[in-house]
Amino acid sequence: AEGVDCSFVRRITGARSALSAILVDTHGERIIVPFYDKLAQADPEALPSQDLTAFDAVLADVRWPGAAALALAAARAIDRPAILDADTAPRDVLERLFPLASHIVASEPAAFILCGEERGPPEACEALARRTDAFVAVTGGAAGSWWFDRSAGSVRHVAAPRIKAVDTLAAGHRDKRIGASG
C-alpha cells in the first residue's frame, strides 16, 4: 500500500498468516475466533529495529507474546509509553506482559483471568492497579470502561456510547438486492 512502510514485516517461509472469524450479535457484542500458525508465532530473538525513538508510544497485544515483551521492554527503556492491549490469553502470557507495560487496557475477560471472576470490573480494575504503577483500565463492552485514578485513589467509570447496531458486518442479514436478483 502506498505510504505504508513494510520494512519491518517478518516473513517466514512455510508459515501461514493469522486470520480470524468475527461474530457480532444484534447488540453489537462480538467474539473473535482466531487462528495462529505456531511457526509464525515463534518468539523473535530481537526486535527488527532497536531504535524506537522515532515513535511516540508502543502498543502491543497478547497475540505474539515474545514480540510484545521485547517491544514493551524497549519502549520502557527509552521512557516511551508501553501500552498493553490485554485481551483473553493464557494467564502466564498476561502475567508475563503485565509488568512490562506503563499503560494496561484489559478486556473484562482478561481482568477476570488475572483477578478471578468473583470480582466485577471495578474491583478487578482496582486489584490490577494495586499490582503495578501503570495506568490501568478495564473495558466492559456496552457497560463502559473503568480506570484507576491514582490521584483520587479510586476507580472511575465512563459509560459506553449507546448505539443501535444497524449493519453488523451483514451477519445474519441478506442483501435485498442480491435476494431480488436471485
Domain total in the chain: 1
What range does the domain containing 53 cover?
46-160
CA dist 133 → 97, 98, 103, 104, 156 (Å): 14, 11, 9, 10, 17
Cα separation, 140 vs 120, whole angstroms: 10
Grid cell at residue 34: 482466531
85 within domain boundaries: yes
110 belongs to a structural domain: yes
139 occurs within a structural domain = yes
Full-model pTM: 0.78
Chain-wide mean pLDDT for the chain?
86
- Please give the average per-residue pLDDT across 16-44, as a whole number: 84
Report the CATH number that the domain containing residue 146 is assigned in CATH: 3.40.1190.20
Does any domain span residue 73? Answer: yes
Identify the three-state secondary structure at position 66: helix
* 5-27 average pLDDT score: 85
The model's pLDDT over 104-150, given as tens digits with 9 standing for 90+, comes to 999 999 999 999 877 899 999 999 999 999 999 999 988 999 999 99
Q: Would 173 be classed as within a structural domain? A: no
